[in-house]
Amino acid sequence: MFAQANAMDLHAKFPAVSDLRDAARRRIPHFVWEYLDSATGEERTLRRNRTELDQVLFHPSILHGEFTPNLATEFLGQTYDLPIGIAPVGMSGLIWPGAEHMLAKSASALNIPYSMSTVATQTPEDVAPHLGENAWFQMYPPRDKSIREDMMVRAKAAGFTTLIMTVDVPVASRRERQTRGGLTQPPKLTGRLAVQAALRPAWLNGIRQTGMPRMKLMDGYAESAQLGKSMRSSTAHVGYLLRTSPDWDYVHALRDEWDGPLIVKGVSRGADAQALEKAGVDAIWVSNHAGRQFDAGPATIQSLPDVRQATSLPIIVDSGFETGLDILRGLALGANFIMMGRPWHYALAAIGEKGPAHLADILKKDLEANMGQIGAKDWTDLSTRLASDLS
C-alpha cells in the first residue's frame, strides 16, 4: 500500500519526462548539465531528431472496443516487458553518482537491457554484481588487438552477453557547449566548477562518497600501456588515445572473436546495413549519437525506413526518443527496439535510485494511452495506423 501511494506521489510530481528533465537540471551542477544535455556544432541534429519525430502522425481509431495492449517484445531471442532499453552513456557516474550500479540494477528489475559504455566510470567487474540476464557491453574499438581481446574477456566474465560495436565516432567531436561549460577530462573541480557543485548539495554529497569520476576501464589500459594523459581538446579523453577508427576488417575480426550477439551502432544508410548483414552481425543500431558527433546528419527517424528496407536483421533506433509516443513512432517505421540514454539520466538526477523505475512507468502508461487512442493491440498494428505514408 505504501509503495502504491509512493508511486502515485511520484506521478503527481513528475507526470512526464519533461518534469524529470526540469528537476534534473535543478539538481546537478551546470557543467554536468551541459555535458548531459548538449550536442555538437549549432545542435541542429539534436533539434532535427525532435522535429522529425514530431512529423510522424497516427490516425486515431474509433469503435474498436476495449482491449489491453500487449507491450512485451522479443529481441535477439529474449522477451522483454517493454520494447525499450538503457543506451550506453559515457561517464554516467558524473551525471549522477553511482549511476552505473543504479541503472544496471533497475534494468534487471524491469526486465530490459542495460548497456554499459566503454567510457563508463566503472569497470565491468564493478557492475557485475548488479547485472541481470540482459547486460550489453558497448565497445569503442581499441587500436591494440590485445586490449580488445582482454576487454571482451572481461565483459563476458562479468556477465555481459551482447556486444555493441560503435562505429559513428571516428574522431572526437567538438561539443562547443560542453567546452563552454568548463568540463575537462579527466573531470576536475576547478574553482568555477566547485562553486557550481556547492549549489547542488545532493550531487556533491554523492560525489564525496564515490570519489571524482574517471574512466576506470580505459584509464587502466592507458596506465598499462604507459600512455600520456595529454588531450587534444577539452572534449577528447583517454579513450581517444587507445581507440581507432575501425574499418570493415575490424568488423570481421570482432565477429570472429565474440561468440555472442553482435550489434553495430551508428548506422544511418541502408547500403551499410546490407553490408553489415553480410558480415554476420546480429542487429543494426540506427543512431546519430544524439547529435553529439555530427551536426549535418539526418534524424534517425528519417534514416530508419531506408535501413528497414535494406535488411532483414532486427533494428534498434535511438537519438531524441523521449516518450511513449516516440517509441510508437520508431516501431511503426520499422524498428524492433528503442534505446534511450538521456531520459534515464534525467530520472536518476531528478529522483535518484527510484528514478529509472518511475520513468519506465511513465513510458508504460504513455504507451498504453496512445495505443488505446489509435486502436493498436500490439506492435504489428502500428504501421497501419500511420497518418501518412512514411514507411
Catalytic annotation, residues: 289
Label residue 305 exposed, middle or buried (CB < 10 Å: 0-12, 13-18, 19+). middle
Instruction: Judge whether 122 and 143 are in contact, CB under 8 Å.
Output: no
The answer to whether 158 and 251 have CB atoms below 8 angstroms apart is no
CA distances, 131 to each of 43, 52, 169, 214 (Å): 34, 35, 27, 21
The answer to whether the Cα torsion of 261, 266, 271, 272 is positive or negative is negative
CA distance 246 to 262: 15
CA triple 97-98-103, angle to 5 deg: 120
The 3-state DSSP class for residue 165 equals strand
- Beta strand ranges found along 208-261 (DSSP E): none
Amino acid at 161: T
Asked if omega into 186 is within 30° of 0 (cis), the reply is yes
Nearest residue to 128 (alpha-carbon basis) of 93, 160, 94: 160
Strands (E), 4-97: 73-75, 78-80, 84-86
DSSP string, 322-370: -SHHHHHHHHHTT-SEEEESHHHHHHHHHHSTTHHHHHHHHHHHHHHHH
